[in-house]
Amino acid sequence: MVQGSPHSKVVPVASTASMALTNVKDRGKTAAVGDPRSGWRNYSNVDVTTRFGDRLRQLRKSRNMTQLQMSIQFGIDRSYISNVEQGRKSISLPTLEVIALGFNMSLSDLLWEI
């Protein structure tokens, strides 16, 4: 029987209903997921649409753009941008590509730390 490394990490299994904090074992120390010492982030309380909305707002504001300016430059409805930023609407891959191109960045940079 092959035994795991003493330095292995226990990865949490996400549930759509809820995700309990799981312990991560690293070099003999135990820390809760989301604990800065573990190197893991716990996003279980914030869904991906809300996280992406926060990212979109941050990118737009860092470029000193209003939602109206963004909608005109990118060809996306202003109310849709607002709804995405507020986490009310999901976003499609083609629209993600339009936004990435508009911000002159890759899709991976657009989705960084989401």
Tens of pLDDT, residues 1-50: 444 444 434 434 343 333 333 333 333 434 344 444 444 455 568 899 99
Shared domain for 55 and 102, answered yes or no, is: yes
CA dist., res. 71 & res. 73, Å (int): 6
Query: Which pLDDT score is estimated for 45?
Result: 83
Q: Is 103 found in the same domain as 86? A: yes
* Residue of 19, 108, 102, 6 lying closest to 63 (CA atoms): 102
When divided into structural domains, the chain yields a total of 2
Note whether 58 and 98 are same-domain residues: yes
More confident residue, 65 or 4: 65
